[in-house]
């Protein structure tokens, strides 16, 4: 391009660019006969247009981000500067808040390389200095072959804190494993060495708090990969939060780690307004650590190690975190992780990931299935108590996996908690008396009836002329969703959201009706396991009811009870129990002991008390809960009659408690009585009736009457499969007890058929694996693997 040509290009460009697209090329051809120039002009126009789209990074952005990087580098130290007894050699890493330098000791005969981390922020507070000194002492005690030593720490003359540590010339664990195409087994072995180091530090009372690939470096010693964990315990207190915790850098080849990939790179900084930072790598941070950095214990490290394991073995991250918003990230983190074997199948790079592990996609997914899936899911459980309680428990499970022994995350023999979960899930335990479980038709008829009976009636008294409006609304919404008419379950959910969205507009000036509807929909959502939506609706209801009806009104108390049930459904027993106990006081006082809500609340207090104390093996308290349930059964029989649905629920719950208290005969008798009544009241094809069949089967099994057990369990499984589908969690619960029984009876082939039937459902509900006993688990696992 020469100046003359360019002048022509410029002129034509200005004349053409604002013309309609269709006219551009004909205009150019008319005004210019040099095709090179025409092409240049068209190319420029295209470039200008693409610049209008968001995807092209603006020139300004490039310059500004370059300037940012400049400034980060400009802070800190220069080669030759002295820090403590060390002389700075060069910058080897840098991050948002500080830098890492390679330095060596100058006052000794032999040269020793160290890494020095230094922060931009300064500390002047004397209290911080004291803590800092203490910290230095504790960290100095960490002596482990897989932990980078901390040699010293201090402050520069201008108050910048620094830490001097062992210099590790290594590569981050993920990159190392991928570059060397390490097998799953080799990866797990390496991971377990890291576990040793982390466990060691936990024994010394030090929590790492920022475990992630960039802090686990691998170097080869005698041709063997050897891990070194760096930044140990650095994120421990205020001092550290002001210092190295914020340094998103690491060493050597890993210098770019602070933005290692899109999945781990989002840095969340809630500290823009204060020094109370939470800067870290959210992909690896546990939800409790994200929510409140102070509330961290060793199980947060378990979580981070779980994410690392997940990433290491599958190449995928358990959660896609793109947002920088703390609330949003926290929400993602509070959900359950998809098992890695499934995540892998959804990953578009899975072929490459499998090759990096010397496998193909299918064999990798298969290798991850069940054991490793369960180990990962358990390690990164959103609920702290459901995780491995120590790093060594996680490592032990991995060792078991490597030696082909059953792993605790899957079988249930090793942990009381899981045994308990298994036991509890054998029974279809009705946690709340008016609780509606998953049955769509059931929900609609029951809740509609309930609204008519209790709510609509009371509302009619208060706003009698409005009562027909609410009835009509409900009818409209529910009748269109009646499965007998439309037959599709998904429709109901749609109708629900539609109905929920319309409440506000439909009942603008009718807060009481509005609240009542919110409450009812909240209850429906609880039944559908949509707990977040349920809670939102119920809180809206409660606020309105407290304002317009008062705290002690039956509607308000009903909503409060439902809120407790949402907590209970999510296994947050202490919270739930607190709500129920408080509500029981209120309902007794304002509604009396024989009110249905009071009785429901008694049930909830008894059940939750029982479950919670079962966790803690507190037999006295369990016995107390049992007595309470006995009283409730008597009370309901008296008030509602023997055949009332709620009476039958109390009977079921009491029988469950008897069974667990080593009174199988008593339990069996009560369950059987309940079955008779339920068949009369609900019919055969009903969730409650069929659950009772399963429960009876279990009692027979405990009494060693296996043939009777089989008859009942089979009927339960077949019936539930028919009415709820094989994917429903209730059906799976029944299936698991049925399969286990078949295995005990050595009916292996029939057991395999059922395993086959629920295979797909197991993928959807991996937690169901936890309900199997060891033998059945092995059978199921082998069978599903062989089949592939």
Partner 1 sequence: MTYIPIDNDVTQLLDEWHQGNKQALDKLTPVVHEELHRLAVQFMQKETDNHTLQATALVNEAFIKLAGIDIKWQDKVHFISMAARIMRNILVDHAKSKNAHKRQTNKNSIEFNDEIYANNSSLEELITIDELLDKLCIFDERASKIVELTLFGGLTQPEISELLQLSISTVERELRIARAWINKHR
By CB under 8 A, name the binding residues for partner 1.
1-3, 6, 10, 13-14, 17, 43-48, 50-51, 56-57, 59-75, 120, 171, 175, 178-179, 252-253, 255-262, 265, 272-273
Q: Of 397, 371, 429, give the one whose Cα is nearest residue 571.
A: 429
Q: Cβ closer to partner 1: 61 or 137?
A: 61
DSSP classification of residue 334: T
Q: How far is the CB of 70 from partner 1 (least distance, A)?
A: 4
Nearer to partner 1, 1 or 786 (CB): 1
The residue assigned the tokens 């599903």 is 784
Q: For tokens 């939470």, name the residue.
A: 278
> What is the closest distance, in whole angstroms, from the C-beta atom of residue 347 to partner 1 in the complex?
14
Instruction: Name the residue nearer to partner 1 (CB basis): 48 or 774.
Output: 48
214/438 with CB nearer partner 1: 214
Distance of CA 643 to the CA centre of its chain: 41
To partner 1, the closest distance from the beta carbon of 103 in angstroms equals 17
Q: Supply the minimum distance, in Å, between the C-beta of residue 536 and partner 1.
A: 31
Q: Which is nearer to partner 1, 9 or 562 (CB)?
A: 9
Rounded to a whole number of angstroms, the minimum distance from the CB of residue 65 to partner 1 is: 4
C-beta separation of 526 from 536 below 8 A:
no
Residue 478 CA: distances (Å) to CA of 467, 472, 481, 514, 526: 16, 10, 5, 17, 17
Q: Give the C-alpha separation, 733 to 502, whole Å.
A: 36
By beta-carbon proximity to partner 1, the closer residue of 75 and 129 is: 75
State how far the Cα of 618 lies from the Cα of 593, in Å rounded to an integer: 27
In this complex, which beta carbon is closest to partner 1, that of residue 265 or of residue 446? 265
Identify which of residues 72 and 682 has a Cβ nearer to partner 1 in the complex: 72
Tokens of 444: 């609609």
Our CB check for partner 1 shows the closer of 179 and 764 to be 179
User: Based on CB atoms, which residue is closest to partner 1, 31 or 665?
Assistant: 31
Token couple for 236: 């421990």
- 211, two tokens: 């475990």
Q: Which residues contact 242 (CB under 8 A, 6 or more apart)?
A: 119, 121, 123, 128, 161, 275, 277
> What would you report as the CA-atom Rg of the chain, rounded to the nearest whole angstrom?
32
Give me the least distance between CB of 280 and partner 1, in Å please. 18
Within 13 Å of residue 3, how many CA atoms lie on the same side as its CB? 0
- Comparison of 51 and 529: residue with beta carbon closer to partner 1: 51
Of 574, 560, 486, give the one whose Cα is nearest residue 523: 560
To the nearest whole angstrom, how small is the minimum distance from the Cβ of residue 54 to partner 1?
14
**Cβ at position 242, least distance to partner 1 in Å:** 12
Q: Which is nearer to partner 1, 48 or 501 (CB)?
A: 48
Distance CA 599, CA 607 (A): 12
Contact 750, 717 (CB under 8 A): no
Residue 12 C-beta: closest distance to partner 1, Å: 10
Q: Is 217 left (phi over 0), alpha (psi -120 to 50) or beta?
A: beta
**Cβ 125 to partner 1 shortest distance, Å:** 16
CB of 49 to partner 1, least distance (A): 9
Q: Which is nearer to partner 1, 175 or 396 (CB)?
A: 175
Report, in Å, the least distance between residue 281 CB and partner 1.
Answer: 14
Residue 114 three-state SS: strand
Output the smallest distance, CB 471 to partner 1, in A.
53
Token pair recorded at residue 186: 């080799």
CB 355 within 8 A of CB 179: no
Per-residue three-class SS string for 684-726 = CCCHHHHHHHHHHHHHHHHCCCHHHHHHHHHHHHHHHHHHHCC
Coil, strand or helix at 565: helix
Nearest residue (CB) to partner 1, 354 versus 470? 354
Q: Which is nearer to partner 1, 67 or 133 (CB)?
A: 67
End-to-end CA distance of the chain: give it in Å, rounded: 63
CB of 292 to partner 1, least distance (A): 22
Q: Give Cβ neighbours of residue 457 (< 8 Å, ≥ 6 apart).
A: none
Q: Tell me how far the alpha carbon of residue 420 is from its chain's centroid.
A: 21
Q: How far is CA 716 from CA 213, 285, 411, 513, 683, in A?
A: 48, 42, 24, 40, 13
Smallest distance, Å, CB 234 to partner 1? 21
Cα gap 116→136, rounded to integer Å: 14
Q: At closest approach, how far in Å is the CB of 244 from partner 1?
A: 18
Nearer to partner 1, 63 or 295 (CB): 63
d(CA 392, CA 372): 16
Give the integer Cα–Cα distance in Å for 646 and 636.
7
Helix (H, G, I), strand (E, B) or coil at 757: helix
User: CA 547, 553, 557, 558 torsion: positive or negative?
Assistant: negative
CB of 59 to partner 1, least distance (A): 6
Q: Is 77 or 632 the residue whose CB approaches partner 1 more closely?
A: 77
| Helix/strand/coil (H/E/C) assignment for every residue in 50-85 | HHHCCCCCCHHHHHHHHHHHHHHHHCCCCCCCEECC
* Nearest of 173, 177, 174 to residue 185 by alpha carbon: 177
């Amino acid at each position: 391009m020469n100046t003359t040509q360019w002048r022509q290009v410029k002129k034509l460009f200005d004349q053409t660019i604002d013309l309609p697209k269709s006219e551009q090329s004909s205009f150019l051809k008319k005004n210019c006969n040099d095709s090179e120039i025409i092409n240049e002009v068209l190319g420029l126009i295209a470039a200008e247009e693409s610049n209008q789209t968001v995807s092209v990074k603006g020139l300004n952005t490039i310059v500004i981000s370059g300037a940012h990087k400049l400034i980060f580098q400009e802070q800190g130290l220069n080669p030759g500067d002295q820090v403590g007894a060390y002389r700075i050699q060069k910058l080897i890493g840098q991050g948002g808040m500080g830098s890492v330098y390679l330095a060596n000791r100058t006052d000794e005969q032999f040269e020793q390389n160290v890494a020095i981390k230094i922060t931009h922020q300064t500390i002047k507070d004397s209290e911080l200095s004291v803590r800092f000194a203490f910290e230095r002492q504790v960290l100095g005690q960490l002596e482990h072959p897989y932990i980078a030593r901390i040699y010293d720490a201090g402050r520069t003359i201008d108050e910048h804190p620094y830490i001097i540590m062992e210099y590790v010339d290594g590569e981050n664990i993920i990159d190392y494993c991928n570059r060397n195409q390490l097998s799953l087994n080799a990866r797990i072995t390496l991971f377990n060495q890291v576990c040793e180091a982390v466990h060691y530090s936990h024994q010394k009372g030090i929590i790492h708090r920022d475990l992630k690939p960039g802090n686990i470096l691998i170097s080869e010693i005698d041709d063997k990969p050897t891990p070194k964990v760096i930044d140990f315990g650095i994120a421990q207190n205020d001092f550290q939060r002001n210092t190295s915790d914020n340094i998103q850098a690491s060493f050597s080849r890993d210098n770019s780690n602070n933005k290692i990939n899109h999945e781990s790179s989002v840095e969340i900084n809630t500290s823009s307004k204060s020094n109370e930072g939470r800067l870290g790598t959210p992909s690896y941070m546990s939800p409790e650590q994200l929510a409140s950095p102070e509330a961290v214990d060793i199980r947060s490290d378990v979580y981070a190690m779980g994410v690392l394991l997940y990433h290491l073995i599958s190449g995928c991250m358990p959660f896609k975190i793109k947002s920088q918003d703390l609330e949003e990230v926290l929400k993602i983190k509070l959900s359950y992780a998809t098992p890695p074997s499934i995540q892998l199948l959804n990953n578009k790079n899975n072929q490459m990931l499998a090759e990096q592990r010397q496998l193909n996609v299918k064999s990798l997914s298969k290798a991850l299935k069940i054991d490793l899936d369960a180990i990962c899911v358990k390690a990164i459980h959103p609920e702290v108590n459901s995780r491995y309680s120590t790093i060594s428990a996680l490592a032990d499970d991995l060792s078991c996996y490597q030696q082909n022994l059953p792993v605790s995350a899957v079988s249930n023999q090793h942990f009381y908690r899981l045994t308990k979960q298994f036991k509890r899930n054998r029974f279809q335990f009705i946690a709340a008396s008016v609780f509606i479980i998953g049955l769509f038709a059931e929900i609609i008829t029951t809740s509609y009836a309930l609204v008519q009976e209790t709510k609509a009636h009371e509302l009619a008294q208060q706003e009698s002329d409005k009562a027909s409006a609410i009835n009509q609304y409900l009818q409209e919404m529910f009748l269109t969703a009646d499965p007998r008419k439309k037959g599709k379950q998904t429709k109901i959910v749609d109708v629900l959201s539609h109905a929920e969205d319309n409440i506000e507009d439909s009942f603008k000036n009718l807060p009481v009706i509005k609240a009542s509807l919110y409450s009812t929909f909240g209850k429906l959502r609880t039944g559908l396991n949509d707990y977040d939506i349920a809670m939102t609706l119920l809180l809206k209801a409660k606020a309105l009811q407290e304002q317009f009806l008062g705290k002690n009104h039956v509607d308000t108390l009903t909503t409060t009870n439902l809120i407790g049930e949402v907590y209970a459904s999510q296994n947050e027993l202490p919270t739930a129990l607190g709500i129920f106990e408080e509500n029981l006081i209120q309902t007794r006082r304002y509604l009396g002991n024989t009110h249905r809500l009071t009785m429901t609340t008694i049930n909830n207090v008894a059940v939750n008390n029982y479950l919670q104390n079962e966790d803690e093996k507190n037999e006295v308290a369990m016995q107390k809960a049992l007595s309470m349930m006995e009283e409730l059964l008597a009370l309901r029989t008296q008030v509602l009659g023997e055949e009332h649905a709620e009476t039958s629920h109390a009977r079921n719950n009491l029988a469950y408690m008897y069974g667990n208290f080593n009174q199988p005969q008593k339990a069996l008798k009560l369950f059987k009585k309940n079955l008779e009544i339920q068949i009369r009241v609900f019919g055969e094809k009903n969730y409650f009736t069929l659950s009772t069949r399963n429960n009876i089967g279990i009692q027979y099994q405990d009494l060693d009457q296996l043939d009777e057990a089989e008859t009942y369990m089979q009927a339960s499984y077949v019936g539930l499969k028919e009415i709820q589908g094989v994917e429903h969690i209730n059906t799976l619960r029944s299936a698991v007890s049925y399969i286990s029984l078949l295995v005990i009876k050595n009916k292996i082939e029939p057991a395999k058929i059922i395993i086959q039937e629920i295979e797909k459902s197991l993928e959807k509900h991996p937690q169901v694996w936890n309900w199997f006993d060891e033998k059945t688990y092995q059978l199921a696992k082998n069978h599903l693997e062989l089949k592939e």
